[in-house]
Amino acid sequence: MRRFLSILISVMLISMLVVGIMPNAFTQKKYNEAPELAELVKQGKLPPVEQRLPKEPLVLTPLEEVGQYGGTLHLLHLPQYPSLWRGRMSEPFLIYSTPYLDKILPNVAKAWKITKEGRVFTFFLREGMKWSDGQPFTADNIIFWYEDIIKNDELSPSKPAYLTSRGKLAKVRKLGTYVVEFSFDEPSGIFLDAMCTTLPASPSHYLKQFHPKYTSTDKLKELMKKEGVDNWRSLFYTKASNLLNPECPTIGAFVSVTSMNEPVFISKRNPYYWKVDTAGNQLPYIDKIEDAVIQNPETYLLKTLAGEVDYTAIAFVGGLPSYSVIIENRTKGNYRLIPYIWPPNNLGTILFNYGHKDTVIRSLFNEKRFRIALSIAINRDEINKLLFKGQAIPSQPTFAPGPPYYGDFPLSKNYTQFDTAKANQLLDEIGLTKRDKDGFRLRPDGKELTLTLLVTTGWPFEAVEIAELCRKYWANIGIKVVNKPIAEEQLFGLLEEDNYDMAMRALMLGGCTQPVLTRGELWPASRFWTVSPAWAKYLYSDGKEGTEPPQDVKKLKQLFDQASKEANTRKRNNIIVQALKLNLENIWAIGIVNEPEIAKQYIFKNYIRNVNRPNEPIPAELFSIPPSQFFIKK
């Protein structure tokens, strides 16, 4: 449950960009609504649309055209990604950032101001905005989130990096019913970016019943027993998510009808949604979303080809090997392909346990020459030809080329040249000269050297095959590795417990927005840094937990702290490039290949419109469009 909740919270904080949202002056007093809502108004079950909308609703300029009401969006998801599409269809964040991080636009907050040289941020909310149950959305919801969730050490044992400065939590205070202020001891360079990916508010009128500050211990125990959880924290977070608990109010475009744990995850439009189009139509256009679990990518692909899925991504229906058959069936399946912009996913990245309990193994992993030897022993060109049709890019984990960070970055090729002789030489240099009767190298203490590589079985689909090829390459230099396939959720648990030798999964170094936020793995931005949880624990506990990292990792953390408070974008980008160089020079994680660009495409039924501007790719996360303006064209 704890790991699941952790994943859920990450989904809730998932990074995003936005295109096609430009606030417009909108003065009309009469709005239009979906026929099903108009009928509820007639029956007296809903107030008129003018009373459900805020005084100043956010106006979206449609990407293609003003849409039509009605219809159901049919989606599928694999078991390991229960909240994937609903997570990507979320858009209720405080503000929005444009795709190239060059402009921030209003969203939940209609306006804001920054004073005291970047230390004080004041947000002005939309007067009359409401939760999906019709209750007011006000500054009180932000204060509850801050005072009773963030400041509560049981609910938030680790405070968000974007909300701290000099190790101290920012102060949050209510200046009016719809005005709230965040103040820091020093300038914050990441707070505004964080508000493009976060809603610092919770439905206090609903959640107080699950919080010990407002509810008796006996009542909480009764509720815990009913929900089958053993602590109030689990109870609270289970109830605090509309994805898990349809009773929990939301300000998103769609409200859950069933839990995402059900075989079919159903959502319906939010009657109190606070956005309209340029013709005064309350969004969203679509009536309902049905998102069913599908057990394997093969069946998922067949249903997509048959036209039973309204949208998905090539990555979830077999990846690059499925590309040809997807192209061939476009007319039959009545769908089109639209490329999307996404930072490089490095497929098959190899991670090391730098907090290994066996000090001999730990010492080997901390030896840069050992990591270099393993890296240059890998024939990436062969992997690319065999598994990716030559379409992938042999590379260490890195950022996308081009602005705002760099152009053609040569360090991304560090230690990717296939050189078995050099790899053997490096291993000899560090003392791994003795071998057993089968030619495998022995540890410096003379014992057998066998390393277990945990390999994710979900995505990327090629991971197990990559791992098997790597096992053979390493055997050629005398390193014995045993591969162990494992579900990604199990893998994260073992990483967190430092209970592994090596692990293989996809790694995104840069993230979808500013890498100073936690989505990317550029640096230890929190206690759980995928590259090395052991080092991150040490850095965030002042050495009381984890394993002491090398000096360059400490410098990486210092760079993160600097970037976190650097308000000047140019200076912050320079800090980010310094951090990238440290990663590529040290290869703390060994990269294999970056995901083929041709595989970065969404599959949309032809009748699903307002997905993108004509002939333009979709920027980063799908929900950046945002999906409240999707419609089914009749």
- Please provide the average confidence, as pLDDT, over all residues in the chain: 89
Q: How confident is the model at residue 525 (pLDDT cuts 50, 70, 90)?
A: confident
- Residue 393 phi/psi, 5-degree rounding, is -120, 110
Give the architecture (CATH level 2) of 345-516+588-594: Roll (3.10)
- Interval 209-229: pLDDT, tens: 999 999 999 999 999 999 999
The CATH code of domain 1-90+253-342+600-634 reads 3.40.190.10
pLDDT at 431: 95
Q: Looking at this protein, which amino acid is placed at residue 186?
A: E
Q: What pLDDT does 129 receive?
A: 98
| pLDDT tens-digit series, residues 444-458 | 999 999 999 999 987
What pLDDT, on a 0 to 100 scale, did the predictor assign at position 513?
Answer: 56
How much is the average pLDDT of 615-629?
68
Query: pTM of the entire structure?
Result: 0.82
DSSP strand E in 141-287: where?
A: 164-165, 168-169, 171-176, 179-183, 254-256, 264-269, 275-277
- Which residue spans of the chain are classified as CATH 3.10.105.10? 345-516+588-594
- Of 251, 277, 253, give the one whose Cα is nearest residue 60: 277
Per-residue confidence at 634, pLDDT binned at 50, 70, 90?
confident
pLDDT at 293 > cutoff 90: yes
Q: Please say if the pLDDT value at position 9 is more than 90.
A: no
Beta-carbon-side half-sphere exposure of residue 380 (alpha carbons within 13 Å): 26
Residue 98 has pLDDT above 90, yes or no: no
- Say what the pLDDT of residue 533 is: 95
| Third-level CATH fold of 92-224 | Dipeptide-binding Protein; domain 1 (3.90.76)
For 229-286, the pLDDT digits (tens) are 999 999 999 999 999 999 999 999 999 999 888 999 999 999 999 999 999 999 999 9
Contact 152, 82 (CB under 8 A): no
Contacts of 602 (CB under 8 A, 6+ apart): 311, 312, 313, 314, 337, 338, 339, 340, 611, 618, 622
Q: Is the pLDDT of residue 5 over 50?
A: no
- DSSP 3-state of 273: coil
Confidence check: pLDDT of 511 > 80: no
Which tens digits make up the pLDDT trace of 455-500? 998 778 899 999 999 999 999 999 999 999 998 888 888 998 999 9
Residue 299 has pLDDT above 90, yes or no: yes
Q: Which of 62-66, 86-90, 338-342, 613-617 has the lowest mean pLDDT?
A: 86-90
> Is 404's pLDDT higher than 70?
no
The band of 12, judged by pLDDT with boundaries at 50, 70 and 90, is very low
| pLDDT classification of 6: cutoffs 50, 70, 90 | very low
Residue type, 79: P
Question: What is the structure's pLDDT at 407?
Answer: 52
Highest mean pLDDT among 90-99, 466-475, 517-526 belongs to 466-475
Phi, psi for residue 79 in degrees, rounded to 5:
-55, -35
Can you tell me the mean pLDDT for 345-355?
95
Q: Which residues of 334-361 are buried (b: 16+ CB within 10 A; e: fewer)?
A: ebeebbbbbbbbbbbbbbbbbbbeeeeb
Average pLDDT of the segment spanning 71-97: 81
The amino acid sitting at 66 is V
- The pLDDT score that the predictor gives to residue 443 is 95
Q: Between 442 and 407, name the one with better pLDDT.
A: 442
Read off the pLDDT of residues 35-75 as tens digits, 9 standing for 90 and up.
999 999 999 999 999 999 999 999 998 989 999 999 999 99
Instruction: List pLDDT tens digits, range 188-215.
Output: 888 988 898 889 999 999 999 999 999 9
The span from the CA of 317 to the CA of 294, in Å, is 11
What is the average per-residue pLDDT within 548-564?
93
Q: Are 294 and 78 in contact (CB under 8 A)?
A: yes
Of 44-48, 279-283, 353-357, 570-574, the least confident: 570-574
Q: Where in the chain is the domain with CATH 3.90.76.10?
A: 92-224
